[in-house]
Amino acid sequence: NKYPCPTRIGLPVWPGNRGSHQLLAVGRQVGQALGGGCVAFIGQVVSRPMTIQEVTDDHDLLFITQSRTDVARQSDGRQVNLAISGSDHWISISGSASVAEEPETKQRLWNAFNDAYTEGGWQNPDNVVIRVSADSAEYWDTPGGLGVLLGVLKANITGGKPAAGESGTVEL
């Protein structure tokens, strides 16, 4: 995928959860929501925005940066959290990060965005792949924009609460 945003995340059935239709439905919700967002905040306590380059079938989220950046040094070998936001959804993904050169991956994913934020092209060994292996994901799916405004207006008139939307957790 040469585009700067993934088009989907696949959440396959894995051993031990084959009969869980509810879990699969939540997985589909996470996958659909993630398809609409392409910038994630990645980090431990301090996060920064980075473009998701690809989401693999194994639930790995790939980013490209330079090895000398704070995000590369602070993420390697550590637990991280990705916060992703769209117009009507939010996703929190936790997982472990690793940093590696991965020349074949860089060549396959390289695009104009990488050229703009790094130096030397995919061949430069200082340009690295951050691979976040997702452990779990939580999503919040709520009406966005006008839907939120109308919900708040209705709540103020009726004395009720606006619809909170759906949420769920998936252990990957």
Tell me the pTM.
0.68
Contacts of 116 (CB under 8 A, 6+ apart): none
Q: Tokens 């117009």 label which residue?
A: 87
For the chain, give the number of residues: 172
Q: Tokens 């759906």 label which residue?
A: 166
DSSP string, 111-168: -HHHHHHSSS-TT-TTEEEEEEEEEEEEEEE---THHHHHHHHHHHHHS------EEE
Tell me: the pLDDT tens digits for 48-81?
A: 888 899 988 888 999 999 999 999 999 999 999 9
Tell me: the pLDDT tens digits for 116-144?
A: 999 999 999 999 999 999 998 888 776 66
Q: Three-class SS of residue 92? A: strand
% of the chain with per-residue pLDDT over 90: 36
pLDDT above 80 (res 114): yes
